[in-house]
Amino acid sequence: MERYSVSLEKFVKNLSLNIVYAPAEPSDIYLTSKDVQRPGLILAGYSGFFMPDRIQFLGLAELGYVAGLPEKEGHMALERFFSARPSTAIVSHGQEITQELCDLAKKYQVSLLSTDDSTSSIMAATISFLSVELAPRITRHGVLVEVSGEGVLILGDSGIGKSECALELMKRGHRLIADDAVEIRRVSRKTVVGSAPDNIRHFIELHGVGIVDARRIFGMGAIKMTEKIDMVIQLVQWEKNKVYERLGLVDNYTTILGVEIPIYVVPVKPGRNLSIIIEAAAMNNRQKKMGYDAAQELIHQLGLNDDIIPESQKIEVWEDYQ
């Protein structure tokens, strides 16, 4: 599995941290672990399970413990911590950065940062930031829009009408996240989010027209930087002799980066208003998440047995990330 990194410069800027010492230019220092750690055990003398690639937090408890030790033992505790060469150490609560801390950071080439935030809040912000920046990711051809609060990933062959759907949905008050290329990241075991690559963000390609800037045409309210993917719409060419889902009794899923996502296969033919269909599908998916299933409700009202409802199935739309 490929490992990703984020520069110390971007990390410091996004979390509004102060750089006390950096062994190199912050733009040339990279963080590679999304896990964090509090180094109380190594300060007390136990170095097992200490992970130097993790960001370490020196809070009130850690520095209070060191301050309560005799001077020589306190120095040995800090020396033991910095000699393990953690990637970065953050002093929280606006605590005083002593000359001893600075000297040890320089001696062992450890990035030393500070913040006025509490340890818990800065740890939560760090985990949230790194979970996105260092998440496993793939880039796929498609369109990502937010429809009625649902993140909808629209897939289909080139020229089938994905970008036109996005355009119509924006006119109806929904928002565009990405067109043509969608960068998908798994930020947790159950969540994948999508965004657009920086160099093509907010641009839409329309066959026969060319490139348009959605932000300038529709305004800031019509675009969004990132969105959780709640469902997938697979657009396919209509085939006369093929039977398509009519009642929605079967729950279909596809897997993206190991996360199961509901998928709806929508056939395309002249005269179908795809944007309205996608809008209805998004609202129906939202209802299902809130506990109401219209298809099952119809079965109950008709007095039919629940046994006729088939089991859910999985649909593969691409070779998934391994």
The residues annotated as belonging to the active site are 141, 162, 180, 246
Q: Which regions of the chain does DSSP assign to beta strands (E)?
A: 6-7, 18-21, 30-31, 36-37, 55-58, 88-91, 111-114, 137-147, 150-155, 175-188, 191-195, 203-206, 210-213, 226-228, 231-237, 252-256, 259-268, 313-314
d(CA 53, CA 84): 10
| CB neighbour list of residue 207: distance below 8 Å, 6 or more residues apart | 159, 163
Q: 3-state class of 110 per DSSP?
A: coil
DSSP 267-295: EE-TT--HHHHHHHHHHHHHHHHTT--HH
d(CA 63, CA 94): 12
CB 204 within 8 A of CB 144: no
d(CA 59, CA 56): 10
At CA 127, angle to CA 126 and CA 128, rounded to 5? Answer: 90
